[in-house]
Amino acid sequence: MRTRPTLTWAAPGDPLPRTSHLAEVAEVLADGRVLVLTGAGISTESGIPDYRGESGSLRRHTPMTYDEFTTSAAGRRRYWARSHLGWRTIARAAPNSGHHALAALRASGRVSGVITQNVDGLHRAAGTPGVVELHGNLDRVICLGCRRGSAREELDTRLRTANPDFGGTASRINPDGDVELAEEAVRAFTVVECLRCGGILKPDVVFFGENVPRARVERCYRLVDRAAALLVLGSSLTVMSGLRFVRHAAKAGKPVMIVNRGQTRGDEYASIRVDRPLGAALVELRSLLDPVPDAAATP
């Protein structure tokens, strides 16, 4: 059974109190064993937009859903034509100061693990080990028939060969790796099939309306159970795939901290809510925990 895609969420009442100060978050981190859950807000400073921020892509487009991709050849052609251009921007994106600061917090032992809802691979690129990519990663492709996995680079080479005259011009990259593209360019695009069985190829990511693999969900629950606290970074928590871990932590009596721009669907479960851009906030958190000695004061 597939879940219905949750694209938007409206706050039920007035915003709960938020702060711009990070001292309380730093105090919890200092004790260690803090599990981190990240969303699109941590990657916006790397040039990858989010879905629901002030300039989020949901204001202008509806992302691909699992049902449309699996039942509509036209839908798949549209996705792959747009993604053929867009994923290159994702692949070229570099980790920002927030990714690097979080990697340092993980290396220091204060962060016990990282779960990300992002599909851009930037946490791994920043050197954070053992990241659980809840929604998969755009750098992999899976066949829906024989389940053969392959590298996105391999598919890119095949699509270039099948579309030697493809001249689409991309505009406005979207968080799922596709772009806005003229319909005539989409219609001219040729989609390729699985080399092994001729089946449908799909990016190895969780589309809207698709379930996260159960084993991956259970792994995340275990990480929450082992942690002393949960820190959410840059996620509106609109979709249940991330919100469930916040609820699970709160039900177990663990502190929940949220650093995000604007309200989130998980605010009611949080004891600390910080409204800050992620890059600067994470750099400050790292400096609060590991102050750099004043060189002028060093004898």
The annotation status of 97 as a binding-site residue, yes or no, is no
The annotation status of 241 as a binding-site residue, yes or no, is no
The annotation status of 51 as a binding-site residue, yes or no, is yes
The annotation status of 55 as a binding-site residue, yes or no, is yes
The annotation status of 49 as a binding-site residue, yes or no, is yes
Q: Where are the beta strands (DSSP E) in the chain?
A: 34-38, 111-116, 132-133, 136-143, 149-151, 171-173, 179-180, 201-205, 229-233, 256-259, 272-274
Neighbouring residues of 293: CB distance < 8 A, sequence distance ≥ 6: none
The annotation status of 42 as a binding-site residue, yes or no, is yes
The annotation status of 235 as a binding-site residue, yes or no, is yes
The annotation status of 239 as a binding-site residue, yes or no, is no
Q: Which of 84, 99, 135, 248 is catalytic?
A: 135
Q: Collapsing DSSP states into helix, strand and coil, what is residue 49?
A: coil
Strand partners, 149: 142
Annotation marks residue 84 as catalytic: no
* Number of Cβ within a 10 Å radius of residue 224: 22
The annotation status of 118 as a binding-site residue, yes or no, is yes
- Among 268, 262, 272, which Cα is nearest to 231's? 272
Ramachandran region, residue 37 (left: φ > 0; alpha: ψ -120 to 50; beta: rest): beta
What is the token pair recorded at 280?
């600067």
Strand partners, 85: none
What is the token pair recorded at 227?
């942690």
Query: How many Å separate Cα 24 from the centre of its chain?
Result: 25
The annotation status of 46 as a binding-site residue, yes or no, is yes
The annotation status of 220 as a binding-site residue, yes or no, is no
The annotation status of 258 as a binding-site residue, yes or no, is no
The annotation status of 171 as a binding-site residue, yes or no, is no
Q: How far apart, in whole angstroms, are the C-alpha atoms of residue 138 and residue 274? A: 30
The annotation status of 284 as a binding-site residue, yes or no, is no
C-alpha dist (Å) from residue 88 to 156, 165, 176, 276:
9, 18, 12, 29
- Among 177, 178, 281, 195, which Cα is nearest to 231's? 281
The annotation status of 127 as a binding-site residue, yes or no, is no
Binding residues: 39-59, 117-120, 143, 146, 194, 197, 234-236, 260-262, 278
Active-site positions read 135
Binding residues for NAD(+): 39-59, 117-120, 234-236, 260-262, 278
Binding residues for Zn(2+): 143, 146, 194, 197
